[in-house]
Amino acid sequence: MQLQNLEQLEIAHEVKSVSGEMSDIDAIDPIDKERREKVKEAMLHAWNSYKKHA
């Protein structure tokens, strides 16, 4: 992934986070969106388990 694409992804995520609306980056590739959601779920699961048991 090129740095420019990574920056666009970060900016799109920030826009989505602030506005609550779907960004253009989510419309580009639904498989990428699904993968990001799965990674997010896994990270939240790990973080919540850490907070609970640490």
- Which token pair is 24? 């253009």
Residue 29 binned pLDDT confidence (cut-offs 50, 70, 90): confident
> Taking the model in full, what pTM does it have?
0.49
What CA–CA distances, in Å, run from 18 to 10, 35, 42, 47, 50?
12, 21, 23, 23, 27
Over range 28-40, report the average pLDDT: 86
In the predicted structure, residue 42 carries a pLDDT above the cut 70: yes
Burial class (CB in 10 A: 0-12, 13-18, 19+), 36: middle
What pLDDT shows up at residue 14? 59
Residue 7 binned pLDDT confidence (cut-offs 50, 70, 90): low
The number of distinct structural domains making up the chain is: 1
Domain that holds residue 13: 3-53
Over range 32-48, report the average pLDDT: 92
